[in-house]
Amino acid sequence: MGAGTDRFLEPVRLNCPWCGSEQLSVRVRVPDLLQGKPGVFTLEQCADCGHVFQNPRLSLEGLEFYYRDFYDGRGGEGAGTVFGRLGDSYRRRAEMLRPFTVHPPTSWLDVGTGHGHFCNAARAIWPHTRFDGLDMGDGVGEAERRGWVETGFQGQFPEFAEKLAGRYEVVSMYHYLEHTRDPLTELDTAAAVLAPGGFLAIELPDPESRMARLLGSAWLPWFQPQHQHLIPAANLREALTDRGFTVLAEEHGPAHQGNDFFGAVALTTTRLAPDPDRPWAPPATPGRRALAHAVRAAALPCFAGAAVLDAVRTLAARRTDGGNAYRMLARRDVDGGPTAAGEDR
């Protein structure tokens, strides 16, 4: 495979996709520890605005290759189990709107909805709201068949800007923007599909998290090669204001996902001993198989310790309002339309 992965990467860019600065430096360099597919990926950070992005980034062909079997196919069932367990955080996301609205929203579009787990959980909080979902994967069709979303749109969000213009009272993007190639265009699209006065709810991993510095390349939310952009909260606030939004609320502690240490052990285990049976690797030798087995056995007590550390860390994150992720809720100004969006770009 070796040189064969070159076609999965675009040329290196020389300036920051967020602010245009050329003051870039390498933040982390990691292989694919999610699926153990070939290739090494680099996240660079802008010294001027703090934006972190994959550079060189994956080509469309690369995205197809590295996403394949993760959310659908071979990995789909596992991904569904993980997302299915997030019930409590789904409810908290849905509740974030409550202090700012008198009437329940009539229409809500969840972008990057996956299999529609959030929409299904949020109906318990907002039973009179129509939840639609959008995703590039085919899980969204399944979500519609199960009745977890009313309508499932499959494709890239910006392609729907015109068709869905002004249709929604709420648009949510939970752990979505970091996967996109151009988050600013996604925000333009959100502004376009929202009715004036509509709400935009966003949740993202926080590249300014202390744990990101502490754990280095073993910090799970770098999530290479899937995450294309990691956006500091101040940058998102500014981009929203530029597009005619008023930021209503920002939560750091409550958005914390308690898996920093567990994730670090999992990534390190995978790094030392990749799954010998992954279909994209050469057939495993008995030696490799034995090594993988030994490393995994040795990792078991580390997982137990990591779970304890994560529980402690989650309590601290809630107390100090500082975690590995953040949530932002913004309202589209009544007089600020999509035409006001991104004029400074």
**Can you give the binding site for Zn ion, defined by CB under 5 A?**
16, 18-19, 21, 46, 48-49, 51
Count of alpha carbons within 13 Å of 269, Cβ hemisphere only? 21
- In the complex, minimum distance from the CB of residue 18 to Zn ion, in angstroms, rounded to a whole number: 4
**49 or 281: whose CB is closer to Zn ion?**
49
- What does the block give as tokens for 220? 């799970």
DSSP annotation of 285 reads P
CB 96, CB 249: distance < 8 Å:
yes
**149 or 231: whose CB is closer to Zn ion?**
231
**124 or 234: whose CB is closer to Zn ion?**
234
What are residue 337's DSSP bridge partners? none
Angle at 148 between CA 332 and CA 34, to 5 degrees: 85
- In the complex, minimum distance from the CB of residue 287 to Zn ion, in angstroms, rounded to a whole number: 46
- In the complex, minimum distance from the CB of residue 242 to Zn ion, in angstroms, rounded to a whole number: 14
Torsion of CA 131, 135, 139, 141, to 10 degrees: 60
**15 or 285: whose CB is closer to Zn ion?**
15
Our measurement of the distance from residue 79's CA atom to the centroid of its chain's CA atoms, rounded to an integer in Å, reads 13
In whole angstroms, give the CA distance from residue 291 to residue 273.
7
- In the complex, minimum distance from the CB of residue 53 to Zn ion, in angstroms, rounded to a whole number: 9
CB 260, CB 313: distance < 8 Å:
yes
- Give the N- to C-terminal CA distance of the chain in Å, as an integer: 39
**20 or 166: whose CB is closer to Zn ion?**
20
- In the complex, minimum distance from the CB of residue 328 to Zn ion, in angstroms, rounded to a whole number: 19
- In the complex, minimum distance from the CB of residue 21 to Zn ion, in angstroms, rounded to a whole number: 5
**21 or 151: whose CB is closer to Zn ion?**
21
In whole angstroms, give the CA distance from residue 249 to residue 231.
17
